[in-house]
Structures are given as C-alpha cells and as structure tokens.
Amino acid sequence: MNRRSYKFTNKKHPTQAIFSTILGTISTCGIIAVIWLSFTMHGATKPGYGLTGLLAVIFSLIGVILGITSFQERDGIYVLSWVGTILNLLVLVGVGLLFSLGLRA
C-alpha cells in the first residue's frame, strides 16, 4: 500500500523573513534594471539610475538585518529567512563588485 504522510504543524514564516524576501526582490530587480539600462545606453546614465542603485543598497541592508533577526523567532519556517538574507547579500556583493570595477577604470 502506498501511504501518504501528512505533517500538521502550526509553524509559520516570520514576518521579518517575508519583508526581507520582498526587499531582496525589489533590490535585485532595481539593480538589474540599472545595469541593463546603463549597458544599453553605452554608459551615458541619468542621475535617477544612481538614486535607484542607492535605494537598492539601502533596501538590501535593511533586508539583511530583517533576514538575520527573523532567525530568532521560535518555531518558524526559515526558508524565506534564508532566501531573503542570501538574496540581499548577493545584491550587496554585486554592488560592491560594480564599485570596485568602476574604481579600476
């Protein structure tokens, strides 16, 4: 016989983890849009691109803090905590690499 096992639990995703994932998604989309638009314009960027990049960094910093603090909640599902923290850290590392490439040129 094929038995299906169900596990019922009252665990939930921490609210900070959800916000961290949302901020990471917004930051990732913003950075990708800025890089793509800068590339298509051959480096002739507008001031709004810099503001978008700055907001993406601020959102990522807040997202990392929220992601890390979401691990402190007891009896939670930590999938979104990991996703949000890693996504925000990748954005911060990516922006850091962009800055380091810009300093070399």
Q: What is the SS3 string spanning 4-70?
A: CCCCCCCCECCHHHHHHHHHHHHHHHHHHHHHHHHHHCCCCCCHHHHHHHHHHHHHHHHHHHHHHHH
Of the chain, the end-to-end C-alpha distance in Å amounts to: 67
pLDDT in tens, the chain (105 residues): 567 777 777 888 889 999 999 999 999 999 999 989 988 988 788 888 889 989 999 999 999 999 999 999 888 889 999 999 999 999 999 999 988 887 776
For the entire predicted model, the pTM comes to: 0.84
